[in-house]
């Protein structure tokens, strides 16, 4: 059965699923197949459930033919629920009933023993794999399928009001494993799924190309307020902070929504409920060399005098446990890779555009009379445009893979630079507000060099960040 499940032949895969179904009840009690066969109309239900129908080959759709071809199944015990009840219950897992018409009766539910529940969950998982899911996708990853199965298992336990054992009692490993009827479906998807391409980091040449383009524009004020300069400032700050796109730009918004907001729920501190999810002006604080706070209204004047030395950023809301974290960054003096310079530009732009204090500062505009909130797709457009400017040869690696330049590339760039500077996973996780287990996702051997200057600048700046912000974080 294991061999059949790994083949690309759909008929043999069907045989493997049928074999798993036949072993359901026997595996609940024994570690070997029960030498007993139950004839009857349940066999037809088992066959219809477990094998794809073969058009024009009715004799091959019979259970007798299957057993004749697959001799190991001759002594298996078949103990399945009626097909109608099985399908109805599996459908309930996808769309919980909302009225009496589709409500499963308590009498029907009581027919489900653990073996029957495994069949229900296996039927549900099969449909989810084929595209009957919230994402409407037939290529869900194995981990996603496992999450669907776990949720359905919990829901079924809730409906029945009891615990349901869906693990394989015959498995001798150190950790429990799902029953073969469930495990094999997830395992097969994990073996054959096509892995997503990894995002590429930003490079020094990309930032240099943007800097040259901005410097060559005829009207400095219009250029500074524009979309390209805004993206330039947020991405060069993001290589130090590891920004997520939602922390400075807007993704998909519902009709009538200006920007995404922090959930208005009881667990969120009252003063933060309903505030913008993205960074606001009050999340940026600047200090001089004596650690004295510099008000925003004096920021640009004091910065031109060389008084602004430190930047402190606050993260109000994060999808992990790093809410309300504060981190400090020191001025580097580099014309491009300076977190303080980038942050000053961001605040100054929002001031010139007249952005209200209660709004996000990830904005841009064509003049001082109006502004727009920066969108995630605009970040991708600008940075992919920088690839075209930096690498004019269409056969260059990054030109071929420009679709892998995305807002998340900020996080990739920061992680790779820190790794090359000798930081371990725990240090990278601390400095960039990640969980240690997520760090390997961003670390990779880059085909394209990020750039020695960029690497050294980030490594040096984040060493200062680590030593200065450990107490406040």
What pLDDT, on the 0 to 100 scale, is given for residue 88? 57
Parse the chain into domains and list their residue ranges.
2-192, 204-469
What pLDDT, on the 0 to 100 scale, is given for residue 242? 84
For 11-56, write each residue's pLDDT tens digit: 555 666 666 655 554 444 433 333 334 344 444 444 444 444 445 5
What pLDDT, on the 0 to 100 scale, is given for residue 120? 84
Cβ proximity of 58 and 48 under 8 Å: no
d(C-alpha 191, C-alpha 173), whole Å = 20
Pairing of the two strands 310-315 and 284-287:
antiparallel
What pLDDT, on the 0 to 100 scale, is given for residue 446? 53
Largest CA distance in the chain: 91
What pLDDT, on the 0 to 100 scale, is given for residue 14? 62
What pLDDT, on the 0 to 100 scale, is given for residue 44? 43
Show the CA angle centred on residue 460, arms to residues 454 and 462, nearest 5°.
100
Return the residue matching tokens 């294991």. 2
3-state secondary structure of 395: coil
Question: Which stretches in the chain have pLDDT values below 50?
Answer: 1-2, 4-5, 25-54, 61-63, 66-67, 69-83, 99-102, 447, 466-473
What pLDDT, on the 0 to 100 scale, is given for residue 471? 38
Return the residue matching tokens 């194995």. 142
CATH number for the domain formed by residue range(s) 204-469: 1.10.443.10
Host H or E run for residue 312: strand 310-315
Burial of 382 (0-12, 13-18, 19+ CB in 10 A): buried
């Amino acid at each position: 059965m294991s061999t059949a499940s790994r083949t690309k032949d759909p008929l043999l895969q069907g045989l493997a699923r049928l074999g798993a179904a036949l072993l359901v009840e026997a595996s609940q009690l024994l570690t070997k197949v029960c030498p007993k066969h139950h004839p009857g109309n349940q066999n037809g239900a088992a066959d219809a459930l477990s094998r794809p129908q073969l058009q024009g080959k009715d004799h091959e759709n019979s259970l007798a033919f299957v057993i004749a071809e697959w001799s190991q199944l001759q002594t298996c015990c078949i103990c399945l629920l009626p097909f109608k009840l099985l399908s109805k219950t599996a459908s309930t897992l996808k769309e919980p009933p909302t009225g009496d018409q589709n409500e499963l009766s308590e009498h029907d539910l009581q027919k489900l023993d653990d073996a029957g529940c495994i069949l229900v969950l296996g039927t549900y998982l099969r449909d989810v794999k084929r595209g009957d899911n919230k994402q409407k996708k037939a290529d869900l990853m194995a981990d996603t399928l496992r999450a669907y199965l776990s949720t359905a298992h919990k829901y079924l336990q809730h409906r029945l009001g009891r615990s349901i054992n869906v693990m394989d009692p015959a498995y001798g490993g150190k950790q429990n494993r799902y029953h073969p009827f469930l495990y094999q479906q997830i395992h097969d998807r994990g073996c054959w799924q096509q892995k997503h391409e990894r995002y590429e980091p930003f490079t020094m040449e990309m930032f240099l190309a943007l800097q040259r383009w901005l410097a060559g524009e005829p009207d400095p004020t219009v250029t500074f307020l524009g979309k390209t300069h805004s993206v330039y400032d947020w991405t060069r700050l993001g290589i130090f902070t590891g920004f997520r796109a939602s922390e400075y730009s807007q993704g998909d918004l519902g009709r009538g929504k200006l920007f995404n907001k922090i959930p208005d729920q009881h667990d969120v501190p009252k003063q933060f409920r309903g505030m913008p999810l993205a960074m606001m002006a009050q999340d940026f604080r600047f200090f001089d060399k004596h650690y004295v706070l510099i008000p925003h209204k004096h920021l640009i004047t004091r910065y031109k005098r060389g008084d602004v030395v430190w930047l402190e950023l606050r993260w109000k809301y994060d999808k992990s446990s790093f809410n309300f974290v504060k981190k400090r960054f020191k001025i580097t003096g580099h014309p491009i890779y300076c977190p303080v310079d980038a942050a000053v530009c961001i605040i100054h732009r929002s001031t010139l555009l007249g952005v209200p204090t209660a709004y996000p500062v990830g904005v841009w505009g064509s003049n001082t009379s109006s502004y727009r909130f920066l969108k995630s797709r605009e970040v991708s457009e600008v940075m992919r445009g920088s690839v075209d400017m930096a690498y004019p040869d269409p056969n260059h690696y990054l030109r071929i893979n420009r679709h892998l330049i995305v807002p998340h590339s900020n996080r990739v760039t920061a992680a790779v630079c820190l790794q090359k500077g000798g930081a371990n996973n725990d240090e990278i996780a601390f400095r960039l507000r990640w969980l240690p287990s997520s760090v390997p996702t961003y670390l990779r051997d880059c085909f394209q060099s990020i750039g020695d200057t960029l690497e050294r600048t980030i490594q040096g700046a984040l060493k200062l960040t680590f030593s200065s912000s450990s107490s406040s974080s």
